[in-house]
Amino acid sequence: GQQLNQSPQSMFIQEGEDVSMNCTSSSIFNTWLWYKQDPGEGPVLLIALYKAGELTSNGRLTAQFGITRKDSFLNISASIPSDVGIYFCAGQTAGGTSYGKLTFGQGTILTVHP
């Protein structure tokens, strides 16, 4: 099946630092989604991207849909302790039986030291 390579696998940063993570794929996606998961909870949608080249912000979060449609990145500015969690990228293709199914990256575990 399709695979997404998400990096880095983990990050340990100081409060106030900026964070950047990205996902790359061998396949083209027509939607990129970024989720955050707190321990023992379900993932929560942070940002959705629908168009190649699109740059979208949600507070301190900024995400971009790569021009090639095979990659996306997420930036978090001025990190705070509550940013701790696992961040997942997810790509969605269209057509046939694949429509609506998401392919998830392996996740980036973020730790923020006060």
Partner 1 sequence: DGGITQSPKYLFRKEGQNVTLSCEQNLNHDAMYWYRQDPGQGLRLIYYSQIVNDFQKGDIAEGYSVSREKKESFPLTVTSAQKNPTAFYLCASDWGTEAFFGQGTRLTVV
101 binds partner 1 (CB under 8 A): yes
Residues of this chain, 18-37, that bind partner 1 according to CB under 8 A: 31, 33, 35
Q: What share of the chain is helix, strand, coil (3-state, %, to 5)?
A: 5, 55, 40
Instruction: Rule CB under 8 A: choose which of 66, 85, 91, 105 binds partner 1.
Output: 105
User: Using CA atoms, how far apart are residues 102 and 30, in angstroms rounded to an integer?
Assistant: 11
81: left (phi over 0), alpha (psi -120 to 50) or beta: alpha
Which CB sits closer to partner 1, 3 or 77? 3
Residues that bind partner 1 (CB under 8 A): 1, 4, 6, 31, 33, 35, 40-45, 48, 50, 88, 90, 92, 97, 99-102, 104-107
